[in-house]
Each structure stands twice: as C-alpha cells, then as structure tokens.
Amino acid sequence: MKKILILCTGNSCRSKMAQACLLHLDAELCVRSAGTHPAHNTHPLAIEVMKEAGMPISDLQPHDVKDFINEEWDFVITVCDHARETCPVFTGKVKHQLHLAYPDPAQAKGTKEEQLAVFRQTRDRIALSFKEFHHRYIEEAHEYEERL
C-alpha cells in the first residue's frame, strides 16, 4: 500500500481536496493531509464543493505536518508554494517529493456563488492533476511491478 502525504499551509482547502480526490480514485491508498500552519477548521466551501462532486472530505479536522514528520512516505506532495518553501525536513524516509501548486480558493472574493465558482475550478484542477498523478505513479508502477 502506497503512503502519500499532501501538504499545504492551512490544510483547510487544497490539501483536503487532493486527499479526497486520491481516496476517491483508490481506496487502497493511505492518504493523509497536513498543514505547515494548520487552520482551526476545514473551509466550509471546500467541504461543499467536494460533497457536490461525490468526494466528501471525510477527515474534517486540519492536521499539523509535525504529526507525520517521522513516518515513512512513498510520496510527499506540496500543493501550495508557501508549504513548499516552509516544508520541514522529514526525518522519516521519503521516496519522492513532488510539487503541484494551485491558487488558494480561500482568497476568492465576491458573492457566495462567485466564491463557489473559484472553489469548483480549484477542485476540478486538483482532481485532474491527481488523476494524472495516480495513473503515472501508482497504476503504471503497479503494472510494472506485476511484470517483474
């Protein structure tokens, strides 16, 4: 089972969305998300748009990256530039580190519908990127291992 940690600054939007997307694609994965400076709550609009897409955010409480720093990970993926810059050094084994940046939907202004549109756009970008990630790094690697 592959272990994947997804990092963001607040662990309230993008990393939670990415976690839900990967678990929706493959329930066999061990996927966690955390923040370098975790928020107190997951953003309610992130919860709403993921529920719309049939990918509910099951773990609603943001987590601190320090809780996972000594574990072994197949992938540590940062989804915002700030998290990438402030990502701590993992003392556990990390096989691959990737960076997939998305604008922060929590910065959206306007009416609730305008903000929801930004959250949906971010969700869709994340879903597409992580579907590609899953195909490239999980499915193809599994197929390669089976051929050996």
> For this structure, is 8 an active site residue?
yes
Locus of tokens 């990393």: 15
Q: Is 8 exposed, middle or buried (0-12, 13-18, 19+ CB in 10 A)?
A: buried
What type of residue is 113? E
> For this structure, is 30 an active site residue?
no
- What residue spans of the chain are helical by DSSP H? 14-25, 44-52, 81-86, 112-133, 140-147
> For this structure, is 80 an active site residue?
yes
**What DSSP letter does each residue of 110-144 carry, written as one string?**
SSHHHHHHHHHHHHHHHHHHHHHHIIIIIIHHHHH
The catalytically annotated residue of 8, 13, 21, 30 is 8
The catalytically annotated residue of 13, 21, 30, 87 is 87
Could you list the active site residues? Answer: 8, 80, 87
